[in-house]
Amino acid sequence: MLSFDFSPWSRRAAGELGLWIAIGLVMAVLGLFGAAARSPFERTAYWVGCIVGGGVIGIGIDEAIRRLTDSFWIRVMAVSVLMTPPVTVLVWLMYHGRVGARLTWENLLTPWFEVFVVCFAAMLFHQLVWTRRDIPSPATDVDPLNAFRQRLSARRRQARLIAVEAEDHYLRVHTDNGDELITARFGDALNELANAAGFRTHRSWWVAADAIDSVRWLRGRGEARLKGGLVAPISRSQARQIKAAGWF
How many CB atoms lie under 10 A from the CB of residue 136?
A: 10
> How far is it, in rounded angstroms, from Cα 2 to Cα 188?
47
Q: Which one is predicted more confidently, 139 or 59?
A: 59
Segment (H or E) for 182: strand 178-183
Q: What is the pLDDT of residues 121-154, one digit of tens each?
A: 888 888 887 765 444 444 444 578 888 999 999 8
* pLDDT for res 209: 92
* pLDDT for res 81: 93
* pLDDT for res 159: 92
**Rounded mean pLDDT, 209-232:** 90
pLDDT above 80: residue 220: no
**Rounded mean pLDDT, 3-7:** 44
pTM value surpassing 0.75: no
pLDDT above 50: residue 238: yes
* pLDDT for res 47: 84
**Rounded mean pLDDT, 83-88:** 90
**Rounded mean pLDDT, 180-200:** 91
25 contacts 47 by C-beta, under 8 angstroms: yes
Q: Cβ neighbours of residue 1 under 8 Å, at least 6 residues apart?
A: none
**Three-state SS letters, 109-131:** HCCHHHHHHHHHHHHHHHHHHHH
> How far is it, in rounded angstroms, from Cα 184 to Cα 162?
17
Q: Which of 189, 196, 150, 147 is nearest to 171 (CA)?
A: 189
pLDDT above 90: residue 193: yes
Q: What is the pLDDT of residues 90-126, one digit of tens each?
A: 887 877 655 555 666 776 677 788 889 888 988 888 8
Q: Which one is predicted more confidently, 194 or 6?
A: 194
